[in-house]
Structure formats: structure tokens, C-alpha cells
Chain A
């Protein structure tokens, strides 16, 4: 197998707040291979953005990367000096953010902001930068790009701003592009356009992509492999088809069930996962998903599951896994997905 361009090992990112230490990223490890598009999915607050920002070493205060390794092209980014890291940002690893409304500087011309991404890394001579900016804006299909470069962000629509952000990200043809929910803040039709653009660019350029989203449709359309995160950890990973057709972690299973289906009858209500994401200062003992899991068994209350192979290139962190849930707990016919409903374990045995 090819060597990964990015390998994250046992990454821990914590926020030191007045209420305690928030374990935002808690022992995340994964590999990304050249040319691959990796999806990271999970509910709000599960640590997707912080994983991405940790790779960029842009974790905001009071957050800190406490331990782990982020190997990019074989070198640990966490050991780089701030200046070395600055040179890598935007040149070798670029990032696109969720909200194009607030991610562009309101007082600088859009074209300049794209141009600057190239100029800070001396990638192109100054005279060529303006030209290349227009070419990039055309590539992301901004109409009348020659005029738009002079516009300030507030003069552009949300979709156009996100296109400009994408142009900025691509300007130095980075080896790795991290897109943190690039379509979430846009309305549905614009979302579709931006996704289409990303799909096309994905085919045209030779950049590895990490695509963070909580929209599983995005994953299905763009990604080759997917990581499912829950409460700061990876709970399942594998190739997209495997995860979609045969999820093994109950959380992934529930997540997939919650996608509105076109063939669903009108009266079938949208199924979501019951309960709230856990408190990351005092996470639940045992499996972090146990307070919400319909398939939990006694062991889940006390023992922390680790990622194990559950199929070809597929790994999940679960004591039960869906295979057993289907076979022994009738998961396929399950209607009520409340905690413990399928396994009948509603609370931990007192006498462990």
C-alpha cells in the first residue's frame, strides 16, 4: 500500500476551561493516502473541526494539543517551529471554512485575499499573481471574474464567497486540502452547486482532501473513505460503500437511519438519534455512546471499546457491533431506538 501523505496518531486536543478540561479530540488516529478524499462525519461538537485545526496547528485559546503526532509527508507537524508551520499552511495544507460570510476579511478586496495566499509563499511573481487570481476565480466558476476581484466580500453572494474561499485554498495547489463543512452555511441550491464544483475539482486536481461534514449525502458523493466521530473519538472507519451498506457501529447505524429517505412514506417521521452528545469534560465511563445506544450490553457501561477490524478495511469500536445486533437483537426491524431498547439492558447491573 502507498505511504500515507498524512498520518495522525493518538491526537489529543484539550480545552482548559474554568469548568474543567474539555477532551475535544481524544486519541484520534487515521491515515490519508495521496489523491484520496476522506470524509469525517459526526454530530455537532464531536471534535471534527478541532481535529482539522489541530492538523493546521490553529487550535484557538484555551485549547492545546496535548499529545499525539501529525505526520505530514513523514514529518511530525507538532514538532515544527511556528515559522516552519506558517510556511506549510496555505502552501502544502490549505483549509476552507464553514462560514464564507465571516471567513473573508470585510475590509479587503476579494481578489486581493486570494492573491495574498500566493504572495505570502512567493509562489508566483507579483505581476503574475493578479492574472492567476482571475484564472482561479474562473476555475471556481465565478462569473465576470475580472470585475469581481475588485469587489469586497459584502458585494458577493454567499455561494460566490465560498467559491472565492475555495479558489484561495487551491491557489498554491496544496498537497492536502481540508474542507470544514464547506456547504453547511449555504442554502440548498447553492450547496448543490458548490458540491458539484468540489466534485469536478476533485477529479481535475491531484490533491488529497479531508472533507468534514455532518451531511452524509456529501460523503456519499465525494469521498472514498469515511471516518465517523463521536465525542472526540473515532468510532468507525472504512470505505464509503462499506460504511453505507454495512455499518458496524450502532452510532453509524443510527446516523444513517436519520437521513431523510426519498422513498420514505409521508407519515414516517424523520428518525433522529435520541439523547444528547455527552459532556466532554466528564465523558461517560465505558463506551461513550452507551447512554444513547439501543444495543448496549453490561460491558458497555464499564469497558471502553477500541477500534477493531470488522470487515475489509473497516474498523469499529464496539463490543456488540451491528452484525450481532442484526442477528441477535432484531436491529433490522427495530422501531423504538431508545437506550437499551434492543438489548433490553436499561441500566448497569449494580453488582458488576
Chain B
């Protein structure tokens, strides 16, 4: 499967991702240095304390020197220190938060693709039945609701109403314990994050499945005596996924950026929460680090989607 051409392609794309990450962090670096406000200044400081802190972070150097030092650090994987919490190294911090966000994102994606495909396929093979109408209506609803509305509604439903209705006997502890949460905690945010996209996938899968099922090669499979279930799974499904992959790129980016909102609503200690926090704290070094991580994550996700084409469609080779 991984032909020489594909490996070369992966190599080229990796280099491209690296440059994109450098470019994004440079822009953010230069951008935040133009912003008003200061995380280091405080009215309670005495004497040359402020100057000392500036010096500690090399902020008293000319911008061009700071930029050079930043870039040198970046290529070594060092994103510097937090401006607010002195001594806290940013690289390990955002790297860990990245894995948390990736975890939530992966679950959301799994939900998006799994449920989306399942609904789409079922709606297509039961075309114009009540089941089709139910699934299609559900996906229109999901498709037209922003993720924060779904998230707030889930909070209300599980954490408030469920408890109220059962007089507190049942409720759903929404929140996040520990770094990675547990299965019980992750499915709600994953649902809120993935549902709108699952709806898109379902609609697209349905449409492309209806198209594929009319193709000549499906008739060939039936003429061979292949069982109807296998006609769908083995002969139709993979072909119907080809157009779905096309939207997977934007969709994965939607999940990554949507994660910012969802992580803040559910209190998940990921990159998205840090993103909001660091901006409020004016912890510019962390802001830069978070952006850098997002750039890398989006780059890698896009590469992953492009490689999926090769897996699904043998006609595509890089």
C-alpha cells in the first residue's frame, strides 16, 4: 500500500507542514508583540523588579534578537517559559494538552464517521421509508445546530433536568476528572462536537450510496449471487466513501477548532481551554505555543485525510 511514491509524498508534505508551522508561529510571534497590554507589569512591583522580569524573559532585547532566539528555540522544540507562571516550560505543557485535545477530537471524529456513515447507509438502503425520513430529519437538525448549542443543551438535559426529574437519584456528573477523563466523561463532549459533522457525513453518504447502488458494478455483484448485505458492505460502501473523504479535510479542521468551544464548556484541560485561558492571562508565550500546536495538528490531520484517499481508492496514487 505504501508505495515509494506515497512515501516520497509523505516526506514532502511533512517538510511543508514544518514550514507552515514555522510561518504560523512567526506571524503569531510578531503579532502578539504588537498587542497592547502586559502580563508582567503589576502595580505592586517595586524598584527594578519590572526591569528584572523583562530581562529574565529577554523582553528588553531588540525584537529581531528576540525573534531569532524564538526561532532557534522553536526548531529545537523549545517554546520558552510561561510569562505568568515563572519556571513553567511551555513545550511539555502544550504537548500534553495537545494529546488531550487529540483524544477528544479523535472520539468526535470516530463518532462523526461511524454514526454518520451508518445513518447514511441505512437511510439509503431504506430509501423513502419512515426510517429514512427519521434519519434525514435528524441530520437536518444536527446539521443546523451549532456545537455550543448542542453542548449547552446536553448540560441542561443530563446535569440539570435528569437530576430534577428523578429528585437527584440520577444525574450525570458532567466534567472532567484527571487529564484524560474516562469513557463516561468523554462521550458527551464528543457527541456535541461530532454531531453536526455526523449529520453532514450522513447526508453525503446517503446521497453517494444512492448513486453507487445504481452503478453497473453493483449489478455485476448481484448477478454473481453476492448476498445483499455484502453487496452493500463490500461493493458499495467503499465506493460511496470516496466523495465523503473529500469533505473530511474541512470537517476535521471544524472538529479541531470546534474543540476550543467544547473544551471550555465541558472544562476539558486541552489545548482549547489553554487557548482561551492564555489569552485572558495575556500569557503571550503560551498563546504562541498553542497556535503552533494547532498549526501542527491541522497540518497532520490534513495529511492523514489525503492519505485516506490512497487507502480507499486504488485509482489514486501519489
On A, residues with C-beta under 8 Å from B are 56, 58, 60, 82, 86-91, 94-95, 97, 99, 102-108, 113, 116-117, 120-121, 152, 154, 165, 168
Contact A107 B238 (CB under 8 A): yes
Q: What residues of chain B lie closer than 8 Å to A107, measured between beta carbons? A: 238-239, 312-314
Q: How far is the CA of A107 from the CA of B231 in the complex (A)?
A: 13
Q: Are A108 and B223 in touch, CB under 8 angstroms? A: no
Task: Give which listed residue, B220, B225, B234, contacts A104 with CB less than 8 A.
Answer: B220
Report how many residues on chain B are interfacial, defined by Cβ distance under 8 Å.
Answer: 23
Q: How far is the CA of A60 from the CA of B219 in the complex (A)?
A: 9
- Chain B residues within CB distance 8 Å of chain A: 214-217, 219-228, 230, 234-235, 238-239, 312-315
Nearest to B235 among chain A residues (CB) is A105
When chains A and B are docked, how far (Å) is the Cα of A183 from the Cα of B312? 31
B239 touches A89 (CB 8 A): no
Known: A106-B314, A107-B313. A90 touches B239 (CB 8 A): no
Residues of B near A116 (CB, < 8 A) are: 221, 224, 226
Q: Using A97-B220, A105-B220, A106-B217 as known contacts, say yes or no to A120 and B315 having CB atoms under 8 A apart.
A: no
Chain B nearest CB: distance from A110 CB in Å?
A: 11
Find chain B residues with CB under 8 A from A86 CB. Answer: 225-228
Contact A88 B216 (CB under 8 A): no
Docked CA distance A106–B235 (Å): 9
Q: How far is the CB of B310 from chain A (nearest CB, A)?
A: 12
Whether B315 and A103, one on each chain, are in contact in the complex, defined by CB atoms closer than 8 angstroms, is no
Are B216 and A102 in touch, CB under 8 angstroms? yes
**Chain B residues with CB under 8 A of A94:** 223-224
Q: Contact between A89 and B314 (Cβ–Cβ < 8 Å)?
A: no
Sample (13) of A-B pairs whose CB atoms are under 8 Å apart: A86-B226, A87-B225, A89-B222, A90-B224, A90-B226, A104-B217, A107-B313, A116-B224, A116-B226, A117-B225, A121-B225, A154-B314, A154-B315
Contact A103 B222 (CB under 8 A): no
B219 and chain A: residue at smallest CB distance = A58
Which residues does chain A contribute within 8 Å of B312, judged by CB atoms?
Answer: 107
User: Distance in Å from the Cβ of A6 to the closest Cβ of chain B?
Assistant: 16
Q: Tell me which residues across on chain A come within 8 A of B230, comparing CB atoms.
A: 120
Q: Do the beta carbons of A105 and B239 come within 8 Å of each other?
A: yes
Known contacts A58-B222, A86-B227; can you find 12 more A-B pairs with CB under 8 A? A60-B214, A87-B225, A89-B223, A90-B223, A90-B224, A94-B224, A102-B215, A105-B221, A106-B217, A106-B314, A107-B239, A120-B227
List of A residues within 8 angstroms of B239 by Cβ: 105-107
Whether A168 contacts B224 by the Cβ 8 Å rule is yes
The answer to whether B314 touches A152 (Cβ under 8 A) is yes
Most chain A CB within a 10 A radius of its CB, from B217, B219, B222, B226: B217
The answer to whether A102 and B223 have CB atoms under 8 Å apart is no
- Are B219 and A120 in contact (CB-based, < 8 A)? no
Q: A165's closest neighbor in chain B, by CB?
A: B220
The docked-state distance in angstroms from the alpha carbon of A120 to that of B234 is 13
- B1 → chain A, closest Cβ, in Å? 12
In the bound complex, residues from chain B placing their C-beta under 8 Å from that of A154 are 314-315
CB distance B235 to A108 under 8 Å?
Answer: yes
Query: Bound state CA distance, A121 and B314, in angstroms?
Result: 27
Q: How far is the CA of A120 from the CA of B225 in the complex (A)?
A: 7
In whole angstroms, how far apart are the Cα atoms of A89 and B227 in the complex? 11
Chain B residues with CB under 8 Å of A102's CB are 215-217
Shortest CB-to-CB span from A81 to chain B, Å, is 13
A88: B residues at CB distance < 8 A: 225
In the assembled complex, the Cα of A105 lies from the Cα of B221 at a distance in Å of: 9
Taking a contact as CB atoms under 8 Å apart, the answer to whether A58 and B224 are in contact is no
Cβ of B11 to closest chain A Cβ, rounded Å: 25
Closest to A57 in B: B222
> Once bound together, how far apart are the Cα atoms of A82 and B227, in whole Å?
10
Question: Given contacts A106-B314, A107-B238, A152-B315, are A90 and B225 in contact (CB under 8 A)?
Answer: yes
> How far apart are B276's CB and chain A's nearest CB, in angstroms?
43
Query: Known contacts A60-B214, A152-B314; is A103 also within 8 Å of B225 by CB?
Result: no
Q: What residues on B are CB-neighbors of A121 within 8 Å? A: 225
Tell which of B221, B227, B228, B313 has the most Cβ of chain A within 10 Å.
Answer: B221
- How many Å lie between the Cα of A95 and that of B221 in the bound state? 10
Interchain CA distance A87-B222 in the complex, whole Å: 10
Query: With the chains together, A63 CA to B315 CA distance in Å?
Result: 33
Residues of A within 8 A of B221 (CB): 105, 116
Q: Which 10 A-B pairs have the closest CB atoms?
A: A90-B225, A90-B224, A102-B216, A89-B225, A105-B217, A152-B314, A117-B224, A103-B216, A95-B223, A107-B238
B225 and A99 contacting across the interface, CB-CB below 8 Å: no
Among candidates B223, B227, B314, residue contacting A58 with C-beta atoms closer than 8 Å: B223
**Nearest-Cβ distance from residue A16 to partner chain B, whole angstroms:** 14
Q: How distant is B265 from chain A, measured CB to nearest CB, in Å?
A: 40
Q: A60 — which chain B residues lie within 8 A by C-beta?
A: 214, 219
Residue numbers in A under 8 Å from B314 (CB-CB): 106-107, 152, 154
B242 to A, closest residue via Cβ: A107
Contacts of A152 in B (CB 8 A): 314-315
Q: Taking the nearest CB of chain B, how far is it from the CB of A42, in angstroms?
A: 21
Contact B227–A103 (Cβ < 8 Å): no
In the assembled complex, the Cα of A95 lies from the Cα of B219 at a distance in Å of 10
Across-interface contacts of A97 in B (CB, < 8 A):
216, 219-220, 223
Cβ–Cβ < 8 Å partners of A99 in chain B: 216
Residue of A nearest to B220 (CB): A103
**C-alpha gap A113/B217 in the complex (Å):** 10
Chain B, Cβ-Cβ closest to A114: B224
